[in-house]
């Protein structure tokens, strides 16, 4: 069964930018969707996966 995300949010810094993603809450983690095409669906990550991803972002692992 597909979890229905709640509380979609996007970064405050991207308020005027349409090239971003939104994050919503699901029972055990997060859901992510494209802001430009909200009807295209979303993918989910478990709480552990989401925590690891956010930790990697904060550590600068994706900085180019």
For 13-32, what is each residue's pLDDT tens digit? 776 766 788 999 999 999 99
The residue ranges of every structural domain in the chain are: 20-64
- pLDDT band (50, 70, 90) for residue 2: low
Both tokens of 27, joined, read: 């029972």
Residue 45 contacts residue 24 (beta carbons within 8 Å): no
Q: What is the pLDDT of residues 30-55, one digit of tens each?
A: 999 998 888 999 999 999 999 999 99
- Residues 42, 35: Cα–Cα separation, whole Å: 10
């Amino acid at each position: 069964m597909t979890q229905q995300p709640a509380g979609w949010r996007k970064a405050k810094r991207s308020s005027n930018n349409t090239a971003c993603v939104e994050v919503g809450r699901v029972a055990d983690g997060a859901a992510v969707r494209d802001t430009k095409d909200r009807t295209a669906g979303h993918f989910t990550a478990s709480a552990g996966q989401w925590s690891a991803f956010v930790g990697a972002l904060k550590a600068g692992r994706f900085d180019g």
